[in-house]
Structure 1
Amino acid sequence: MEMALPSRKTRLVSDESLEDWEHVGSGGFGDVYRVRHKDWGEDVAIKIPRTGVCTPLPLSSYKEAMLMDTVSFKFVLRVYGIYQGCPPGSRPGENQCGIVMEYMRWGSVESLQEVLSGPPPWPLAFRLAHQVAAGMNFLHAEKLVHQDLKPSNVLLSESLDARLADFGLSRVSTSAVASSREKTGEAGGTYKYMPPEAFNASYQPVRAFDIYSYGILLWSIVTGKEPYPAATNCLVELKIPLGDRPPSEDLEKMEVEGLKELVDLMKRCWDANPDKRPPFNKCLKETEQVFSKHKRAIHVAVDQVLERLDSPNGNHHSETSISNPRPPPQAPGRSFSPAVSGSERSMPIDEVDMPSPVTRHPPTQDVFRSSAKHMTDEEKEKFVDDNMATLIQKIKLVMKIAEELGNMVNPETYDNIATKETKQDQMRLLYRSVLHSGGKKVKAAFYDALKRNYQPLVEDLGGF
């Protein structure tokens, strides 16, 4: 069934406004392009369904656009309008329709896991868990069921904030009729994220469907892995109603502040009994409390991940590896290995290193200092002063270095630095407020932190 576009406030976007088409993804639904909107001066994403016809937008895609337009929320992907035109590769005069959405440069949680070969740093993992809960709570308050919540449908903004996407399967939950069944599941959705009751042919999706999916999504976020990697859809359909779930024993052994609470929430969300699953307004309160324990370290975590994503191949970095800032004091110090291969994502969780915690007083500080023993504190101070103009331009991990200075940076100053929009402004404030007034001892500590994170740069500038 197809539907022509009705007259309503949703804007139409035509080829005259667009340039620089770039194909960035495809799937069973169709193709996604990154396109420059000449009038807006911004890149947008255009999703064009694979319909086999060239004229009106299919009902499911039109519905998706209308839903996204209706549920404007900061953790839900924004829709800008409907595209009508001839995209690259189509025959002349072969008009097609699509959805024009905000472009998410950093992809999705799924693509982030692939780049990191594992989970993100704990502060970012907890923030993603909270933001997804907030977005889903909003959708459920609007009486909508998402019905395909999974890592590839949680997109990431410039600052790695979550945006819920792909509303092609969404239903109004008060009249949730599964009118368009997909190969992924009888009631829509993706097998590995579907609750046991959804495998019943007569099932009609309600809010409890999404809550179950959220529980599996939480597991994927904190482990960086796909659930049941070797299982076929038939096996998933057989085993999930029997009580099989992703393994959580190793997560429960980790001494990470707030993780125990998140694992407990995860298990309640994937409970076999839909009535026992907590509603999203309750999930939201719990994830907010967990994230609050790591909130101060989020700037460092985001900076480190962005450094990794900005590296030439997106899968390595010459200056620093991603680690978890500000864990609880008792957290074990396992190292994060960026060299873990993609195939290892299917291994048991204890065989893939999680990101390592780094406290504000690194336990290895004396080891690092011994490697710089050829320089006195006076020489380190002179190095910092002589090269400050260059350091302001080059240093991007400002918040990480501020963390490593520990109590030398008071909390108010730390928060002020974090509010600065650019890394240069952050570095200038760190110098003015901390280094300049702190004297030799602080500058020497800054030099040591600099050497840990930017050794090639230090050596290029004449340091040891």
Structure 2
Amino acid sequence: MQEMALLSHKSEPVGNESLDKWESVGCGGFGHVYKARHKDWGFDVAIKILRDGVCLFAPKEKALCEEADHMEKASCEFVLRVYGIYLGCPPAVGSPLQQGIVMEFMGRGSVQSLMNDLSGPPPWPLAFRLVHQVALGMNFLHSRNLMHHDLKPSNVLLNDDLNAKLADFGLSRVSSSALNSNTEKKGQFGGSYKYMPPEAFETSYEPVRAFDRYSYGILLWSIVTGKEPYPAADYSLVALKIPLGDRPSCEEIDQMKVDGLKELVDLMKTCWEENPTKRPTFKECLEVTENVLSKHRKGIPDAVHQVLTRLESPTINQHSKTSVAFKFPVQTPEQPRSTDMVDYVRFTQTGRSSVQGSDSVSPRKMSDADKAKFIDDNRAVLIQSVSEVMAIAEELGDMVHGETYSVIEAKETSQERMRVLYQRTFRPGGVMVKAAFYDALKIHQPSLMERLGG
């Protein structure tokens, strides 16, 4: 019980007797996340449970408590708030006593889910606010000698007003650059490989704060473009090419004439410098992001309203090839900057730019049943074509049984791995698992999904 002392001395653990209206809202490599209503507090909370049904006093208990402790230490307006430790048996799990973290519930998902829903990036004023808020959160975290170590769009959560907060500190640790001793355990680092710096692919690498600064540069690119970096590359290819200097292409961004965007792109490229010492601190990043945001601050209310209206409106035309468009007037050099409205350019499948207009048609948001049908209808093609099977299995989290995960990992080809997923996970798992697989494919295999009309 020593690890539990990290938080238990400040508040009583939250148990099932205090929670109601449980809903599963997501899962990942570290665990499963539920939404629940706290009966006494009167508001919804998020409950993060350890992966693989880890029980009380299991080895991962320390990792969870350390994550909660780090979140509490880094608590600020731009970091997800932690309320305490959960001890109980989550409904529908059917497992023994488990523990988790009780956290602030963010009603609008993540930056990743937002870009998925919009089929691209958010409007410029909102995009600039997001990158600034992430920099604020990371600057505060680093000021407390903590690292995030897994900074990516899915770990930047959004509240009801689309304000950003950093989440998922499962890989965070005290920054070794801030320590005077060698207490940092060598060789123990993780994170999503597409957001990892070149030096992190070395087996002797010890994580420092420059890791987060690189990840922030890739995150900037993702938010500005609305895309996943290196969509067709698996781990081995990324690990080979990134140390050789490959980075996401900025060709499309350079065509966009937006006030302040050049400064942001320059910051992006500096953040993903090969030499870690040349990457700017987050305090230096803030000077750029705050200046860029100041040029568009007046456009934020309209941008947020446009996005929320889009997210809450009925969706149409499932097979439309046109990206979501927002009715922001084009800003020309003759117009005063005080309008804070800019041209919102998106790129269609043909690679040509498409400026927003009232005639644009947005794709229909698919139900879980539609997603499951898509997976069933395209079974043969998916088995032959899906390459990032392990990354997708990791994304599905505890939907993939531990034994099944080992069987998949042991297979030599992607086709064999996909057959195991269908036979052992999708067939018995039903609609929910197939819908989660569909969402994972949209992230990891966007080109394939576009080709199939998904």
Whether these two folds match at TM > 0.5 is yes
Deviations 1:64-91 (A, max 9, x none): 1111112111010001111001111344
Structure-2 change in CA distance of 1:105 and 1:29 (3 Å): same
**Does residue 1:65 correspond to 2:68, yes or no?**
yes
2:125–2:297 CA contact under 8 A, matched in 1: yes
Residue 314 of structure 1 and its aligned partner are, at CA, apart by: 10
Report Cα offsets for 1:172-228 as digits up to 9, x if no partner. Answer: 1124866497xxxx6211100000011111111111110000000000000000000
Q: Does 1:149 align with 2:134?
A: no
Quick check: 2:171–2:189 contact (8 Å CA) kept in 1?
A: no
Check the 8 A contact 1:305/1:322 in 2, yes or no: no
> Hey, what does 2:267 align to over in structure 1?
265
CA deviation string 1:23-81 (max 9, x = no partner): 11112212110101111110110000114432136111111111111211101000111
Residues 334 and 357, structure 1, Cα contact 8 Å, conserved in 2: no
Distance 1:336 1:103, change over 3 A: same
CA deviation string 1:125-153 (max 9, x = no partner): 00001000111000111111110000000
1:294 aligns to what? Answer: 296
Please list every run of 5 or more consecutive structure 2 residues that lacks an aligned counterpart in the other structure. 319-323, 334-340, 360-454
Q: Tell whether 2:81 aligns with 1:78.
A: yes
Which SS does the other structure have where 1:82 is aligned? Answer: strand
Partner of 2:169 in structure 1?
Answer: 167
Pair 24,313 (structure 1): closer, same or farther in 2 beyond 3 Å? farther
Q: What residue in structure 2 maps to residue 109 of structure 1?
A: 111
Matched to 2:116, the amino acid is E
Counterpart Cα distance in 2 of 1:32 and 1:46: 6
TM-score by length of 2: 0.70
The residue identity in structure 1 corresponding to 2:82 is V
How many Å separate the matches in 2 of 1:43 and 1:206? Answer: 35
Q: Check 1:75–1:237 CA distance in 2 against 1; reply closer, same or farther (3 A cut).
A: same
Letter of the 1:24 counterpart: V
**1:276-324 alpha-carbon deviations (Å, 9 max, x no partner):** 11110010011000000000000000001011111245999xxxx6426
Query: After the TM superposition, which residues 22-61 of structure 1 pair with which residues of structure 2 at under 5 Å, given as runs?
Result: 22-56=23-57, 58-61=61-64
Provide, for residues 217-248 of structure 1, a one-character-per-residue CA deviation record: whole Å limited to 9, x for no partner. Answer: 00000000000000010000000000000000
The Cα of 1:252 is off from its aligned counterpart by 1.6
Q: Take 2:299 and 2:306, find their aligned partners in 1: how far apart are those partners?
A: 11
What's the offset of the Cα at 1:328? 3.3
Where does residue 87 of structure 1 map in the other structure?
90
What pairs up with 1:32-431 in 2 under 5 angstroms?
32-56=33-57, 58-91=61-94, 94-173=96-175, 174-175=178-179, 179=185, 187-312=189-314, 322-323=325-326, 325=328, 328-330=331-333, 350-351=351-352, 353=354, 356=356
The separation in 1 between residues aligned to 2:115 and 2:174, in whole angstroms, is 31
**Contact 1:214/1:269 (8 A) holds in 2:** yes
Cα pair distance change 1:334/1:125, threshold 3 Å: closer
Kindly indicate whether structure 1 or structure 2 has the higher relative contact order, using CA contacts under 8 Å at least 6 residues apart: 2
Contact 1:65 1:81 in 2 (8 A): yes
CA contact (8 A) 2:328 2:342 kept: no
Cα 1:275–1:43 shift into 2, 3 Å? same
| Secondary structure, aligned partner of 2:33 | strand
Partner SS for 1:211: helix
Contact 1:171 1:177 in 2 (8 A): no
**d(CA) in 2 for partners of 1:133 and 1:36?**
31
- Give the secondary-structure state (helix, strand or coil) at the position aligned to 2:171: coil
Q: Structure 1: how far apart are the matches of 2:291 and 2:344?
A: 25
In the superposition, relative to structure 1, how do residues 134 and 264 fare at CA in structure 2: closer, same or farther (>3 Å)? same
Q: Which amino acid aligns with 2:100?
A: G
1:256 counterpart letter in structure 2: V
For the residue of structure 2 that corresponds to 1:35, the secondary structure is strand
- The higher radius of gyration belongs to 1
SS class of match (1:19): strand
Cα deviation per residue 1:243-294 (whole Å; 9 max; x = unaligned)? Answer: 0000002212211111111000000000001111111001001100000000
In structure 2, the residue corresponding to 1:13 is in which secondary structure?
A: coil
- Per the alignment, residue 411 of structure 1 pairs with none
Unpaired runs of 5+ residues, structure 1, are 359-363, 365-464
Following superposition, the deviation at residue 329 of structure 1 comes to 1.5
Q: Which residue of 2 aligns with 1:461?
A: none
Coordinate RMSD, CA, aligned: 2.8
What is the CA–CA distance in structure 1 between the aligned matches of 2:215 and 2:250, rounded to whole Å? 16
Indicate how the Cα distance of structure 1 residues 253 and 156 shifts in structure 2: closer, same or farther if over 3 A, else same.
same
Tell me which residue corresponds to 2:364: none
What TM-score do the two structures reach when normalised by structure 1? 0.68
Q: Is the 8 A contact 2:70 2:173 kept in 1?
A: no
Number of equivalences: 341
3-state SS, counterpart of residue 21 of structure 2: strand
Contact 2:82 2:104 in 1 (8 A): yes
